[in-house]
Amino acid sequence: MKEVIRLAGHAHHYLAIFDKGQAIGLYHTKRLASPGQRIVLYAKDRGCSHPGCDVAGYYCEVHHVTDYAQSRSTDVNDLTFGCGPHHKLVRSCGGF
């Protein structure tokens, strides 16, 4: 892995590392997703995760699948993208 990072060092790309479809080690105890977590979400979800929605991740809000008030953590494996209308739908109806 060190060699891959060294070879990509001059590029302006981001490297997201997954193990069996799960992002590795990007979580913290703050409520808001970190820039690194958003980068992993771009790679993982590409955009809004509501079925049939094609809004790009750049225009989406980050949603905690398990309510932050319960989990008290912001783990990238428990985050997803939701566009404005669909994120509001999740908050008001409890799910996509």
Q: What is the pLDDT of residues 45-86, one digit of tens each?
A: 899 999 999 999 999 999 988 888 887 778 888 899 999 888
Phi-psi region of 63 (alpha: psi -120 to 50; beta: other; left: phi over 0): beta
pLDDT at 87: 82
pLDDT on residue 65: 87
Tens of pLDDT along 5-45?
A: 677 666 655 556 667 766 655 555 678 888 888 888 888 88
* 93-to-47, 62, 76, 90 alpha-carbon distances in Å: 20, 17, 23, 5
